[in-house]
Amino acid sequence: MREPSTAGRLFFLATIAAPALILIPKGLAVFALLLLLATLLSWKSSNRPSMALPATWVRAAWLLAVLPLAIAALSVSWFNLPWSELGKIARLLLLPWCAWLAWRTASSRNGLWWGALAGVLVAFCVALLQTASGIERANAGGNPITFANLVLMLLVLAVFCRPRTRDGRTLTLLLAVLAMGIASIVMSGSRGVLPGLALVLLLGLVGKQGRRFWIRMGVSLAALSLLCACLLWVPSLSSQSRLANIAPELARYERGDGNSSVGARLELWSRAWEALRQHPLTGTGLRQFDRAVVLAPECASSAPPHWCRLRHAHNDLFEWAATMGVPGGLALILIYLLPALFFLRCIGRAPPGRMYGAAWAGLVMVLAFASAGLSQSMFAHAASATAYALFIGCLAGIALNEQRQPASTMDATRAGR
């Protein structure tokens, strides 16, 4: 086992800082500084891993970052838009960067786990204080949807990056973190993350494969059903989670009233489809979805509905396809598909049984992020776009490390890391 270098220790601190501070305004500046220092030291270091990075993996990682950026750059050039519009998509460059550094420094998942525990605690305290002060939806000073998405990503790290131990204290701590994370999401009133949350809880409660797999699966489904029942039928929880509003909002939309959360999304998706039909190759221009919205007849009236003021499609695939055409939609699919295939391959090569580790965390994070993107514009927000790139990148590099070293080595807490 290689001794941790100074670069390795700095990157370990970076993996703690990213999830711990991601909900704090400008908190990721600490991560950025540590990442830059670790990169400079690692680049100059002669302490190299014994195994070279697979060439196929390197090409796929750079394709994942560069292709969407190239398509976005073409859109900016074609529509003569400000180059600053590339800012959020350019954050995908963090993915190969973090993956390379995690692999180069032979990092473990321990830093992400400890950082996620701290991050969920911060989220719960903020949500509790905001709710107690009368704020309708907890948001940590930003967007309630983004807040809930980030909490979900922290829960993925907390559940699947946990250390390999049967210590009862670790299990108790994990259950407490899950409870705080679920409460934070409920207090945000965001419904789009609930399918991803269900996936995290289901796989997390099952825990591992084996003879009692189906028994654990049944118990997990029963626990999820109980949670759903509470969210639907306990008045205070139903009101805060806004689940009870879905059916009335659908009924209003069927009567021609799109002035609701569900109705607005359906109207926006209709506008996105129309924009794609009219401009299949170019779309309306990067981050210019509102161009498609203002063309709707309803938005030309003297009292337009509130969805006419929304700038995003509230669905990542519709957003990318409507603004960058078919190439944009395919690029988004690639952003999800390539990491998912990579993590699946790592899981297939791992010893059977356990359902945790960096590869499992990466796969579940991709699935949870994609499911949230069905009703929200995840990449329209800097915080969620950054979190996806840096967490998936770190987990990819760590998954490669876990493949080349024994599980006991990777799960152990190392000196200085």
Round to whole Å and give the CA distance between 67 and 80: 20
Round to whole Å and give the CA distance between 278 and 287: 17
Q: What is the pLDDT of residue 210?
A: 59
Q: What is the pLDDT of residue 407?
A: 47
CA-based nearest residue to 185, from 145, 238, 156, 158 = 145
pLDDT, one tens digit per residue, over 206-249 is: 766 656 666 666 777 787 777 777 776 776 666 677 777 888 88
pTM for this prediction: 0.90
- Strand, helix or coil at 354? strand
Q: Which residues of the chain have pLDDT under 50?
A: 1, 407-417
CA-based nearest residue to 279, from 328, 323, 330, 332 = 323
CA angle 76, 79, 84 (to 5 degrees): 35
> What burial letters (b/e) apply to 347-377, b meaning 16+ CB within 10 Å?
beebeeeebbbbbbbbbbbbbbbbbbbbbbb
Q: What is the pLDDT of residue 96?
A: 94
Round to whole Å and give the CA distance between 402 and 126: 35
Q: Using N-to-C axis directions, what is the helix angle for 144-160 and 168-188, rounded to 10°?
A: 170
Half-sphere exposure of 310 (CA within 13 A, CB side): 25
Round to whole Å and give the CA distance between 165 and 5: 26
User: Concatenated DSSP letters for 35-48?
Assistant: HHHHHHHHHH----
Q: What is the pLDDT of residue 213?
A: 64
CB 92 within 8 A of CB 64: yes
Which residue blocks in 281-315 are alpha helix, DSSP H? Answer: 290-293
Half-sphere exposure of 414 (CA within 13 A, CB side): 23
- Measured from the Cβ of residue 339, the count of other Cβ atoms closer than 10 Å reads 25
- Measured from the Cβ of residue 18, the count of other Cβ atoms closer than 10 Å reads 28
CB 126 within 8 A of CB 144: no
Round to whole Å and give the CA distance between 29 and 40: 17
Round to whole Å and give the CA distance between 136 and 119: 22
Q: What is the pLDDT of residue 211?
A: 64
Residue 216 CA from chain centroid, whole number: 26
**Domain extents for the chain?**
6-43+61-242+316-411
Instruction: Name the token pair of 129.
Output: 């204080």
Q: Give 239-248 contacts, CB < 8 A, sequence gap 24+.
A: 240/131, 240/186, 240/187, 240/189, 241/186, 241/189, 241/191, 241/194, 242/189, 242/191, 243/191, 243/194, 246/191
Round to whole Å and give the CA distance between 337 and 247: 32
Instruction: Name the token pair of 198.
Output: 């269900």
Round to whole Å and give the CA distance between 238 and 244: 6
Q: What is the pLDDT of residue 415?
A: 38
Round to whole Å and give the CA distance between 58 and 269: 35
CA-based nearest residue to 325, from 294, 385, 285, 292 = 285
